[in-house]
Chain A
Amino acid sequence: MKPKDQNYSKSRRLKNQIKAVVTNPYNLIVLIAIVLLTYLIVFPLLDMISTSFTLAQKDARLAGGTAGSFTLYYWQRLLGSALTKQMLLQPLLNSLLIGVCVSFFAILIGSVLAWLMVRTDLPFKPFFSLAVIIPYMIPSWCKSQAWLTMFKTERIGGAPGFLMSLGINVPDWLAYGPVAIITVLSLHYYAYAYLLVSAALNSINSELEEMGEIQGAGKATILRKITFPLVLPAMLSAVILTFSKAIGTFGVINYLGSKVNFVTLSSQLYMNSKSQNTQTAFAMALIMICIASISVFVNQKLIGSRKSYATIGGKGGRSTPIRLGKHKPLITAVLFLFFVFGIIMPIALLILESFMLRQGDYSLSNLTLHYWIGDPIATVMEGQPGIFKNANFINSLINSLKLTFVNGVFGTIFGQIIGYICAKGRGKLHGKVVEQLVFIPYLIPSIAFGGIFLSMFSAPQQLFGVTLVPSLYGTFALLTITSVVKHLPFASRAGTSNMLQIGGELEEAAEIAGAGFFKRFIRIVFPLSKGGFISGFMLIFVSIMKELDLIILLMTPKTSTLPYLAFQYQNSNSPQASDCVAIVMFSIVFLVYALANIFGDADLAKSMGG
């Protein structure tokens, strides 16, 4: 009787285990996610790897082979030839320098701002909380331009810089090169840290800090021993985003670095890509992907060694602001100064330029509304009307709005789901795999990524003769898939740091009470992660709003978007009109952010309102 019983229970246990694995929606979602990610990310990656080993027709004679055959030529040139130092080592060191410094300063600025905004009794919070995110919304070239307007030296000719015209001699090392790049990029990318850390801080129950206070800990100790460890995942996520963004960026580095011949791996990559040395460019991109993977890996090790970051627990949370005391006026003044230089100046410059009939002429008579609402004049802007009189503008506006909202929403949902997988699967293989996979698209150059997706989806996708995906060429669906996958790193990082904070006991309690997976996700996980959800949405929304390279490849001639319009104006010698479009884009993003801040997340607004 006894053995039989045991047998019965063993097989039943096995059966139950299998049943639990198969019927658990979590496993199903992990499975679907891994299949999709593998298909959408690993395939482009394999394509790039194989391209970097294929001999191009142009190089066939030089490398001594036939076009299209397997070759080590490109890797050998990059890793072990006379060119290695110039093409790889020096740029790589520069990239790391920029990446590390920008991450450090951006995280520092972003975290301090987030802490001040969320946890202290800083005055004018509603104003600051809106202003603080603006630098991320204005294009980075705007800031590099503002930098040069300020610090330009005689070295590069043209109109003198502002400081030089005052008779102040600016040294070249300050005006161009690494110092300038690090400053501009740090001021651009602190938004990641700010958004992620402030979402994390918002969810911390101040009881934790008060407990420390009762025990007699000083403010610094509380900050170091309680607050800091709890927001660490968010900060590390921000480090990864900032680091890979800083090593991947190109525009600012080329604009401020080329004057002193400062190149990084990313500027080398884009130079090669624009010189149609695709193979070399891909090889460089692969190296950058490896570097980013290492940073994700290190992050996993750091986070993995900690026990728990759960701050959203079963108990009610409340937040008591920390008093700044006598430092309040000083801190407020410093913040105001920061905003004037970091935010108002570039925007003012952009707006001013959009009103100038001729560039560089700062007289009053040169001011005009022509680029906004003017009728066509043959001599200006090659005879095109101002943007609000251009039928194309409205069309582009609608397309851009559609694209950003649809993709923002889809991207955020996927991002949060993947964040959920990464958080729940922390330390397990599937969690690590997903976390690594998701990060790859960001470092694949847009043009390559768009091109590969265009090829993939232009013909119906078949498996064993069954059509799985119809031809998506020229459809909105293709634009959506591509932009969502490309921007997944942002959304999923926001999701991961968000989900790490939600204590498992809440879900367990619901499970015991009989709630299914979807119910738990919708009724518990989602409402608790709303702040992070909105942060994720903003990150992806802004990026897609500004995206050009990726989308231009997939667009048909009839679908135009705002960045494309700005590109067209720039191309036809009308930078002012291009500025107008940039201002419109900025206004939309700002409006959405303000609305999200006010209506979308009542808690955030309440805590910020003091």
Chain B
Amino acid sequence: MLQHKRTLAGILAATMMFSLTACGGGGATTDPGSDAAQDPNEAAAAGTLQLSEWEESSGIFNTDETDEELYEKAKEEGKVTIYSISSRITKVANAFMEKYPGIEVEPFDISTNELLEKVTREYDAGQHVADVVHIKDQDGTLYNEYILARKFYNYKPADILSHIDEKYTKTQTPMYVELTQLFYNSEAYPDGSPVTNIWQLTEPEWKGRVMMQNPLDNLAWGSWITGFCVGDVPDQLAASYKELYGKELTLSDGCENAGYEFLKRLHDNEPIFTSSSDEIAEAVGTKGQTNPPVGFCASSKLRKNEDNNWCLAPVNLEPTTGIPAINTLYVVGECEHPNAAKLLIRFMMGGADGDVSGYKYFNTLGGWPVRDDIEPAEGSTPYSELHVSDFNVTDIYENINPVRDFWTLLG
């Protein structure tokens, strides 16, 4: 028996060592600390960036290539793989292959968390499978931990970017914008929304009648509540409070600014949490209700209105409906098909000429194009008329966990 134990101990020790060596082999990470403060695109444009071999050969920082030039180079690469958070990616892939024969697109539809986990693990292991990633940089992680660390790249074609507001292109290559909007039941409230100012949601009348997802549930909701607490949004909230009630807002203990105060009062008004946006859309939009709730959910749910015979109507909240969720395209560093990747990104952004054959699948109700030369879907409120806060990657990135903790402490 004793020998048995000793043998076991020996084997265990050997296995541990084996495990450790395996660990060392797997984790070939790049140091995110070096160039941390420097935006790679800006540095490359200024000529101060020491280019890696792949950055050089892929020409990832080029801004002036045309579709034709890229198509020629892409044909040699033959294929491109995209990981996307949208199920519509399959149709985009087919449209691309129709327009650019000779390049095979492999689309992979996968949800945000799994996408990031998969692509990061693959990148670290040197498996360069994905060329393009379609995702939303909801809390600034992608900019701060992927772009600055040069794991992902923003491809910035000048001809297309000239049609997009600079505030969207600074830290990402944007495709379209979605919102978390407040919705009401237009059958029960035929004269328009019962709520117009965001502070009304904290009144007794709406106690237990505001639906939303638990902000602690996922990154999207966590970022959204953080948006109220940073930048100039707290000041807007305070002003809006004064406008509604005619008096100054008094901050409770532990509330740094009007944003935190709003979250505290919203929480104290006992909103009903659901596990998905669909549940909220159904709860608010179902016809035949006498006392329907209002609810925050993804603006894209508006698309289901007709399919499900709902009467969801969006509210353009004062002073703001929150930060936008920007759908973004990245090129994965060290990828094998950089030119096809660039061509696909151009195609998905609507091309130089505004050819929408790749873009139209995303240009639907509840989503807004970022380009000034592409009209939003029929029936959409023009984006310029909506009250949307600015999305600052650094503010959200640095504050999301403190705000989450604040919400957790509320109980």
Bound-state CA distance A34–B19 (Å) is: 14
B25 to A, closest residue via Cβ: A459
Convert A271-288 into 0s and 1s, putting 1 for each residue whose CB lies closer than 8 angstroms to a CB of B.
111111100000000000
On whether A454 and B25 interact (CB within 8 A), knowing A61-B398, A273-B113, the answer reads: no
Interface centre among B83, B117, B124 (most CB of A within 10 A): B117
Check if B133 is an interface residue, CB within 8 A of chain A. Answer: no
Q: How far is the CB of A572 from chain B (nearest CB, A)?
A: 4
Convert B1-19 into 0s and 1s, putting 1 for each residue whose CB lies closer than 8 angstroms to a CB of A.
0011101100110111111
Bound-state CA distance A543–B66 (Å) is: 50
Check if A430 is an interface residue, CB within 8 A of chain B. Answer: yes
Bound-state CA distance A82–B254 (Å) is: 13
**What is the total number of residues of chain A having a CB less than 8 Å from a CB of chain B?**
76
Residues of A contacting B110 in the complex (Cβ-Cβ under 8 angstroms): 552
Q: Which residues in window 21-36 of A have CB below 8 A to B?
A: 21, 27, 31, 34-35
Residues of A contacting B15 in the complex (Cβ-Cβ under 8 angstroms): 35, 38-39, 42
Q: How far is the CB of B143 from chain A (nearest CB, A)?
A: 12
Q: Is the CB of B139 within 8 A of A18?
A: no
On whether A462 and B409 interact (CB within 8 A), knowing A34-B12, A275-B219, the answer reads: no
Q: Is the CB of B219 within 8 A of A159?
A: no
Q: Is the CB of A458 within 8 A of B23?
A: no
Bound-state CA distance A273–B113 (Å) is: 8
On whether A458 and B292 interact (CB within 8 A), knowing A31-B11, A255-B275, A451-B117, the answer reads: no
Q: How far is the CB of B83 from chain A (nearest CB, A)?
A: 8
Q: Is the CB of B217 within 8 A of A274?
A: yes
Q: Is the CB of A66 within 8 A of B33?
A: yes
- Point out the residue from B16, B116, B307 that lies within 8 Å of A358, measured CB to CB: B307
B5 to A, closest residue via Cβ: A429
On whether A461 and B25 interact (CB within 8 A), knowing A276-B113, A455-B125, the answer reads: yes
Q: Is the CB of B286 within 8 A of A568?
A: no
Q: Is the CB of B308 within 8 A of A277?
A: no
Check if A224 is an interface residue, CB within 8 A of chain B. Answer: no
Q: Is the CB of B308 within 8 A of A360?
A: yes
Question: At the interface with chain A, which of B166-174, B208-216, B340-348?
Answer: B208-216
Bound-state CA distance A108–B8 (Å) is: 40
Residues of B contacting A34 in the complex (Cβ-Cβ under 8 angstroms): 8, 11-12
**Which bracket fits the contact residues of B?**
35 or more
Convert B375-406 into 0s and 1s, putting 1 for each residue whose CB lies closer than 8 angstroms to a CB of A.
00000000000000000000001101110110
A61 to B, closest residue via Cβ: B398
Check if B323 is an interface residue, CB within 8 A of chain A. Answer: no
Q: Is the CB of A58 within 8 A of B401?
A: yes
Check if B63 is an interface residue, CB within 8 A of chain A. Answer: no
B273 to A, closest residue via Cβ: A258
Residues of B contacting A66 in the complex (Cβ-Cβ under 8 angstroms): 33
Check if B196 is an interface residue, CB within 8 A of chain A. Answer: no
Check if B126 is an interface residue, CB within 8 A of chain A. Answer: yes
Residues of B contacting A159 in the complex (Cβ-Cβ under 8 angstroms): 282, 286, 288
Q: Is the CB of A271 within 8 A of B214?
A: yes
Residues of A contacting B87 in the complex (Cβ-Cβ under 8 angstroms): 382, 568, 571-572
Residues of B contacting A271 in the complex (Cβ-Cβ under 8 angstroms): 214, 216-218
Q: Is the CB of A276 within 8 A of B25?
A: no
Interface centre among A34, A158, A159, A272 (most CB of B within 10 A): A158
Check if A597 is an interface residue, CB within 8 A of chain B. Answer: no
Check if A447 is an interface residue, CB within 8 A of chain B. Answer: yes
Q: How far is the CB of A283 from chain B (nearest CB, A)?
A: 14
Between A and B, 14 residue pairs with Cβ closer than 8 Å are A43-B19, A156-B211, A275-B218, A275-B404, A277-B404, A358-B309, A447-B117, A454-B122, A454-B125, A458-B121, A459-B125, A462-B25, A553-B118, A553-B121
